[in-house]
């Protein structure tokens, strides 16, 4: 059942990139708020002589940052998109430089170089266009959910076949 649900979720991800990015942004903000609140709770639960003011200020800053992330969801979506784009861009630069270095070794080097150049282009596009970033992020999450869903469905089928075989051989009883 989990596998089927993940497959369904993957199609929701594929078809709703802006909403997926908004939900991710909301959860990042919410988790940041929870982190700040937990830090404050931890600070006030400590003995007075063990408290550090830096921990208090960091927890307050984290809480306020989380409130800002939820309060300015569009900004949070852009921030996540830019960070994702930078990650893709840096990966592309690394792949392109490694591919350039290894291109003398034949096709693997050239493939790395081409993949790196495409990643650089994608990274720049993601950084400067939130819609492209939303599509990339939701597509990657969708592919992951789809693959996990297919894997879980296959695992359930294999498990059912193994149990059936063991039962027919008498290795396990029907009441187990």
- Cβ atoms of residues 149 and 6 within 8 Å: yes
DSSP string, 124-141: HHHHH-HHHHHHHHHHHH
Q: Structure pTM?
A: 0.71
- Residue 175 in any domain: the answer is no
Return the pLDDT at 36.
96
Return the pLDDT at 176.
54
Q: Give the angle subtended at the CA of 68 by the CAs of 133 and 56, to the nearest 5°.
A: 125
Over 90: is that where the pLDDT of 57 sits?
Answer: yes
pLDDT per position as a tens digit, 107-144 = 788 899 999 999 999 999 999 998 898 899 999 899 99
pLDDT per position as a tens digit, 63-103 = 999 999 999 999 999 999 999 999 999 999 999 999 998 88
Query: Of 88 and 162, which is predicted with more confidence?
Result: 88
- Residue 125 in any domain: the answer is yes
- Residue 36 in any domain: the answer is yes
Give the integer Cα–Cα distance in Å for 29 and 63: 9
Considering its fold, how many domains does the chain have in total? 1
- Give the CA distances from residue 28 to residues 21, 36, 105, 108, 130, in Å, rounded to whole numbers and listed in that order: 10, 12, 43, 38, 17
Q: Which domain holds residue 159?
A: 2-168
- Residue 95 in any domain: the answer is yes
């Amino acid at each position: 059942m989990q596998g089927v649900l993940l497959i369904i979720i993957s199609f929701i991800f594929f078809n709703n990139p802006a909403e997926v990015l908004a939900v991710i942004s909301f959860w990042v903000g919410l988790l940041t708020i929870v982190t700040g609140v937990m830090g404050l709770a931890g600070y006030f639960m400590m003995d007075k002589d063990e408290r550090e003011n830096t921990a208090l200020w960091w927890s307050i800053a984290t809480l306020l940052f989380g409130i800002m992330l939820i309060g300015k969801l569009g900004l949070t979506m852009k921030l996540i998109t830019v960070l994702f784009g930078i990650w893709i861009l840096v990966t592309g630069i690394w792949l392109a430089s490694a591919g350039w270095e290894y291109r003398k070794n034949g096709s693997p080097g050239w493939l790395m170089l081409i993949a790196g150049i495409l990643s650089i282009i994608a990274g720049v596009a993601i950084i400067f266009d939130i819609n492209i970033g939303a599509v990339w992020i939701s597509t990657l999450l969708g592919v992951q959910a789809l693959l996990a869903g297919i894997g879980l469905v296959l695992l359930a089928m294999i498990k059912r076949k193994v149990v059936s075989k063991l039962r027919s051989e008498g290795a396990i009883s029907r009441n187990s």
